[in-house]
Structure 1
């Protein structure tokens, strides 16, 4: 049971990645690979500041800003230099590897003798339950803020930029600025996931972000499948389904390990699972 509880908590930690991928891919239609680097950057900044005994309250905005700067750089390269968004993200991610390694000074930075938000906010006696409550608090706040933003005029302009860039540009909206802000927001949320998972697992590692984009992608694909099947149009419900997708994704991986599948095959199983989720709606269309 504790095995699945850990998977559930990890799914909540990855909610920021899921929301970030949702913004970049579903709202702006931009495949952003900066995710791998900004997630690690969030973890690295968190670990460095925690070892210097900086308060978690101050670390959180610093992490968000760091991830936002990484996303904004990708946006600037894409919009100002007219470079393909995928390539721009790859270049920034590649550069962030060296930046993260330089900041840490080594490949792994353990949080020995430091206090995390999960230990300093002891609302419940049971550590796992206390961690779950804190993570739920973070998830609710993030979902509320993003949902509120997407319902404002600025959020509607963001959504219109992804749906019909030429139309919204004709209305006087600076679509390049919208893309830069959108990518900054997406990577800021991704960095928050790095902030949470680093404190949850007790260390930051230079390789922690390798392939992490598949977690967000899988979460969004699961959510998109549910949205299409249920014909959801509400922004709030869509965001909740994205978060649900992040939890489902981790629970499926936990189930895979619990039935005895070799851990070396976990990434292969992950790829196959995402492929199946992508294929299901198309198989239904073929059948019809």
Structure 2
């Protein structure tokens, strides 16, 4: 794998790390299986893209995209906690509706950003773009991670963790769980939309189809992170998700550039197939890890008995 390909995978992994942090909040913290991500990711890209084309500052465009994603999360949570719609169905409904919303925003299936300024433009000089974009994305991810670490140490953040761990117990403690779920879903989809806003600026266009498989990538990143760095403290949990997203993209890049895969007919057009296979492997990792640790435990106990 070339240096440019490595930094490209690193850049993509860091951008998707924001999305994975959002998935962490909904699936792990709140225990809310949310499929809105497949709609809020392109929503953030569409809003940011339109804002940039309209002449707004790229950073402000990212904030607007993030706000739009947060609103999508609020709608999903509201359908669940106020109307009693099953959370999985609520996410599907909002995701489906966002497809039309995104088309309305862009006015077409895609929106070109070629020649437009981006958040990366001020830092790019000559041919350093391949690593500068990864560096800028890394700084954004670091800030988001530290803010989340701080938030989950506050009373509201601890209430959110309690709500996801045991809803009835949290309600018994006087926590307004409906408000907490709405807030958590807003933060989750806001981060996912921010990821989409940065993604379209690296790709040079916003497209209606960029959200396909977003939730799969996010879950894979979370699971890889948990497998590599199992932890209970929030600092290490969020760090593991970032590491998981980067490793996931690196694995995809290595797989697609592998001579073995090329020799049997795999190519860039098989990205989704390779992604699906990798996710299957990732889902199996925790089981293999448990069996391995159990086997090591048996061996150690056997040695101690012999002694």
Which residue of the other structure, out of 265, 268, 275, is the alignment partner of 2:273? 268
Which residue of the partner structure matches residue 29 of structure 1?
31
Shift of 1:55: 0.6
Output the TM-score relative to the length of structure 2.
0.89
Between structure 1 and structure 2, the one with the greater Rg is: 2
1:72-83 alignment runs, 5 A limit = 72-83=74-85
Cα displacement string for residues 52-109 of structure 1 (whole angstroms, at most 9, x for unaligned residues): 1101232122111100000000000011111111110010000000010011111111
CA distance, structure 1, for counterparts of residue 76 and residue 273 of structure 2: 29
Output the TM-score relative to the length of structure 1.
0.95
Which residue of the other structure, out of 122, 130, 133, is the alignment partner of 1:131? 133
1:208-219 alignment runs, 5 A limit = 208-219=210-221
**Residue segments in structure 2 that go unaligned for 5+ positions in a row:** 295-307
Shift of 1:122: 4.2
Is the Cα–Cα contact under 8 Å of residues 124 and 130 in structure 1 kept in the other structure?
no
CA distance, structure 1, for counterparts of residue 267 and residue 34 of structure 2: 30
Is the Cα–Cα contact under 8 Å of residues 40 and 191 in structure 1 kept in the other structure?
yes
Which residue of the other structure, out of 267, 283, 286, is the alignment partner of 1:281? 286
Which residue of the other structure, out of 37, 40, 64, is the alignment partner of 1:38? 40
CA distance, structure 2, for counterparts of residue 84 and residue 135 of structure 1: 35
- The 1:5–1:57 alpha-carbon spacing in structure 2 relative to 1, beyond 3 Å, is closer
Cα displacement string for residues 89-134 of structure 1 (whole angstroms, at most 9, x for unaligned residues): 0100000000100111111111132111111244897112221221
The Cα RMSD (Å) is 1.5
Cα displacement string for residues 110-164 of structure 1 (whole angstroms, at most 9, x for unaligned residues): 1132111111244897112221221111011100111110111111000000001
Is the Cα–Cα contact under 8 Å of residues 70 and 186 in structure 2 kept in the other structure?
yes
Is the Cα–Cα contact under 8 Å of residues 221 and 274 in structure 1 kept in the other structure?
no
Number of equivalences? 285
**Residue segments in structure 1 that go unaligned for 5+ positions in a row:** none
2:159 is equivalent to residue 157 of structure 1? yes
Which residue of the partner structure matches residue 12 of structure 1?
14
* Runs of at least 4 residues off by over 3 Å: 121-125, 283-288
Cα displacement string for residues 225-276 of structure 1 (whole angstroms, at most 9, x for unaligned residues): 2244xxx222111111100100011111101110122233322221222222
- SS of corresponding position for 2:275: helix
